[in-house]
Copies of this chain bind each other. A is one copy, B any other.
Amino acid sequence: MLAAIRRPTFDDLNLSTGKRARLHRLMYEHGPGNGTLMLLPIDQGLEHGPIDFFDNPDALDTDWVLRLAVEGKFSGIAYHIGLAEKYHKNYAGKVPLLLKINGKTNVPSDDNSFSPLTSSVEDAVRLGADAVGYTLYVGSPAQDRDLAQANDVRRECEKYGMPLVVWAYPRGSAIKAKGGQDSIYAVDYAARVATEIGADIIKLNVPHYEADKAAASPKPYNTLALSEEEGLRKVVKSAGRSLVLVSGGSKISDDDTLHKARLAMECGCVGLIFGRNMWQRNWDDAIGMSNRMHEVMKGYGQ
């Protein structure tokens, strides 16, 4: 491994007082509490449907997931307005809320991916949330509407002092044609776009080099055969002064999950946002895994 990277500080992010107070709650008052983040997302019901709950039907009960968030000492839970309104009341103060404010189903083609708003920054304020989450489909032919909508959200965040977490996802027909959504080209570009438009925190997938797919990417990405770690360091750098979270993606083995957690922290990420890798486990396994992730995070306080 290379030397760990210094992450951007609150001063680097030039945060307003409100953003600073809220991010402080997420980073220093909950979860590992040492400036790292362990977020638990549960927006897959909208994005993928109940399909994701077949492996662990307990997770279909959002209350179970909230108990996991509390007992697993997560920094926050990320979900949509419908769940936040109906389930968060009993957990207010116990686990911070990151309100996911846009989304879509995966039923129609994703060639022109775009996620409309399902709630607003004002809803987040009303519910006492400490951040909002916004999905930006970088490179989608619908970027016209997406960047404009993201701009509206950013301005509301600025107005209310609400930290903005951007799910920076390369997506759409042109991304498919240029190496795919996990290519280094695509993730690197997504990281940069998110920071250019004002994300405080960026959620990214670990980029993945596949020679045959990369061949379709623009030079020099078409031959940029980076290792997983080199790739992640590169995109973290492209994210500039925005903090980076690594997505968990679909469920992987325990070892792979922990490897991904360590990799993220070594590469300068601020933390993890693992959903299916957490709540697709049964209770004991999920608690066990969160404990092991806390162990990892201890090494990266800042």
Interface size class of A (residues with CB under 8 A): 35 or more
Complex contacts, A46 vs chain B, CB 8 Å: 192-193, 196-197
1/0 contact trace for A170-211 toward B, CB 8 Å? 101111001000000100110111111111000000000000
Min CB distance A238 to B, Å, is 5
Q: In the complex where A86-B14, A238-B50 touch, is A81 in contact with B120 (Cβ < 8 A)?
A: no
Q: Which residues in chain A, 201-250, are within 8 Å of chain B measured between CB atoms?
A: 218-221, 234, 237-238, 240-242
B155 near A49: Cβ-Cβ < 8 Å: no
A105 near B49: Cβ-Cβ < 8 Å: no
Complex contacts, A148 vs chain B, CB 8 Å: 116-117
Does A114 touch B at the CB level, under 8 Å?
yes
B192 near A81: Cβ-Cβ < 8 Å: no
Residues of A within 8 A of B (CB): 8, 12-14, 43, 45-46, 49-51, 53-54, 60-62, 79-83, 85-87, 89, 103-105, 107-109, 114, 116-120, 123, 138-145, 147-148, 150-151, 154-155, 158, 170, 172-175, 178, 185, 188-189, 191-199, 218-221, 234, 237-238, 240-242
Complex contacts, A14 vs chain B, CB 8 Å: 85-87, 89
Closest to A57 in B: B237
8 sample A-B contacts, Cβ–Cβ < 8 Å, listed by A number: A14-B87, A45-B238, A81-B198, A82-B195, A82-B196, A85-B198, A108-B139, A142-B144
Q: In the complex where A82-B195, A86-B13 touch, is A107 in contact with B51 (Cβ < 8 A)?
A: no
A116 near B147: Cβ-Cβ < 8 Å: yes
A61 near B240: Cβ-Cβ < 8 Å: yes
Oligomer copy total = 5
Min CB distance A61 to B, Å, is 7
A221 near B51: Cβ-Cβ < 8 Å: yes
Min CB distance A256 to B, Å, is 22
Q: In the complex where A49-B192, A51-B218, A87-B241 touch, is A108 in contact with B172 (Cβ < 8 A)?
A: yes
